[in-house]
């Protein structure tokens, strides 16, 4: 596990059994960017990555 995987591991352990909608996720990402505008670009890149079909170029 990479150091940067800690948050991912915590998410999986704490909320791995939950089912969420993409609408909920988009809302949470907006709240995060509102609280941490310095991460707007990274958050937007993550959202774009999640939104694209496998056939799209990354």
What does the pLDDT profile of the chain (58 residues) look like in tens digits?
556 788 889 999 999 999 999 999 999 999 999 999 999 999 999 999 999 977 655 5
How far is the CA of 34 from the CAs of 11, 42, 51, in angstroms?
20, 13, 20
What pTM value is reported for the model?
A: 0.76
CB-neighbour burial class of residue 22 (10 A; exposed 0-12, middle 13-18, buried 19+):
exposed
């Amino acid at each position: 596990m990479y150091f940067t995987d800690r948050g991912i591991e915590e998410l999986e352990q704490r909320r791995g059994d939950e089912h969420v909608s993409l609408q909920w996720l988009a809302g949470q990402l907006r709240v995060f960017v509102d609280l941490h505008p310095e991460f707007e670009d990274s958050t937007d890149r993550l959202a774009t990555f999640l939104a694209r079909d496998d056939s799209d170029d990354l």
